[in-house]
């Protein structure tokens, strides 16, 4: 990673097209060196794939911006704001979104493998067909998020809020605990999950998982699939 990429962004300059749409967003460091530049056509479409690989964009406000098919691999967006942003098909593998606000963001088909979503807010976010493998989402809020068709494999959801989130045929190999909120959670999943409680760690799937969620105000159906094939 270059010396510039390690510096934290402290300023930004925005330029607008005559029709009022955003033309460019230039993020700078404390010594006013360019840190990252994003550009868009007047229609709002990106001019090229935005490359922010490995950059520290902590605290930057990218809300409402079209960042589709961009590269945020191993980037730091700690405490950033991406409210309503479009990250369709973006690659954010290994990115750190700790404490970031991605409310109502589009993460459709995004690659979030190995990402950190600890304490992040994804309320109302669209994660349809997103890939989340080996993700730390402990303490994250996904209230009302759409997770339909997403792959959640080895995802830490301890203390997370999944209230009123919607699932559909999801791979759901996740870790839950008593602090994980599932009120209003609905849809279908392939289990089993790992539940951490006073008695230790146990694997819960099938009807037992349905009952575990129902007792906490949710309503899901567990399908038999590759993760629970051959189980009772």
CATH classification of the domain holding 171: 2.160.20.80
What value does the mean pLDDT take over residues 124-147?
98
Furthest CA-CA distance within the chain:
64
Rounded (10°) CA dihedral 128, 94, 144, 202:
100
The answer to the question of residue 56 being in a domain is: yes
d(CA 45, CA 226): 39
The answer to the question of residue 10 being in a domain is: no
d(CA 113, CA 127): 13
| pLDDT surpasses 80 at 153 | yes
pLDDT of the residue at 4: 38
The answer to the question of residue 81 being in a domain is: yes
Mean residue pLDDT of the chain comes to 89
| pLDDT surpasses 70 at 223 | yes
The answer to the question of residue 17 being in a domain is: no
Q: Select the more confidently predicted residue: 78 or 198.
A: 78
Q: If pLDDT is split at 50, 70 and 90, which confidence band does 163 have? A: very high
- What is the extent of the structural domain holding 143? 52-232
Q: If pLDDT is split at 50, 70 and 90, which confidence band does 224 have? A: confident
Q: Where are the beta strands (DSSP E) in the chain?
A: 11-16, 22-28, 34-39, 131-133, 151-156, 170-177, 186-190, 193-197, 200-204, 219-223
| pLDDT surpasses 90 at 96 | yes
Judged by DSSP in three states, 86 sits in strand
Number of domains the chain is built from: 1
Residue corresponding to tokens 């494999």: 153
| pLDDT surpasses 50 at 231 | no
| pLDDT surpasses 70 at 48 | no
d(CA 186, CA 164): 7
The answer to the question of residue 176 being in a domain is: yes
Q: If pLDDT is split at 50, 70 and 90, which confidence band does 10 have? A: low
The answer to the question of residue 22 being in a domain is: no
Q: What percent of the chain has pLDDT over 70?
A: 89
| pLDDT surpasses 80 at 29 | no
Q: If pLDDT is split at 50, 70 and 90, which confidence band does 3 have? A: very low
The answer to the question of residue 41 being in a domain is: no
| pLDDT surpasses 70 at 8 | no
Report the b/e string of 75-92 with b at 16+ CB within 10 A: bbbbbbbbbbbbbbbbbb
Q: Select the more confidently predicted residue: 125 or 55.
A: 125
Contact 153, 132 (CB under 8 A): yes
CA distances from 162 to 9, 56, 65, 144, 159 (A): 32, 28, 25, 7, 10
What value does the mean pLDDT take over residues 174-195?
96
The answer to the question of residue 74 being in a domain is: yes
Judged by DSSP in three states, 207 sits in helix
């Amino acid at each position: 990673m270059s010396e510039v990429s390690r510096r934290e962004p402290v300023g930004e300059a925005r330029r607008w097209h005559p029709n009022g749409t955003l033309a460019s967003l230039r993020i700078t460091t404390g010594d006013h060196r360019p840190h990252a530049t994003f550009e868009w056509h007047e229609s709002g479409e990106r001019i090229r794939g935005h490359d922010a690989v490995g950059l520290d964009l902590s605290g930057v406000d990218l809300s409402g911006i079209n960042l589709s098919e961009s590269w945020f691999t191993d980037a730091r967006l700690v405490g950033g704001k991406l409210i309503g942003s479009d990250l369709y098909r973006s690659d954010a593998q290994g990115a750190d979104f700790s404490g970031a606000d991605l409310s109502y963001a589009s993460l459709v088909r995004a690659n979030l493998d190995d990402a950190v979503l600890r304490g992040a807010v994804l309320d109302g976010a669209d994660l349809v067909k997103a890939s989340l493998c080996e993700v730390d989402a402990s303490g994250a809020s996904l209230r009302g998020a759409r997770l339909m068709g997403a792959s959640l494999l080895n995802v830490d959801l301890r203390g997370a809020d999944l209230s009123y989130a919607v699932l559909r045929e999801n791979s759901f190999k996740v870790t839950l605990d008593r602090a994980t909120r599932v009120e209003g959670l609905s849809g279908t999943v392939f289990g089993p999950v790992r539940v951490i409680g006073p008695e230790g760690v146990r694997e819960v799937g099938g009807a037992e998982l349905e009952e575990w969620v129902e007792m906490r105000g949710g309503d899901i159906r567990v399908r038999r699939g590759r993760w629970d094939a051959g189980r009772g």
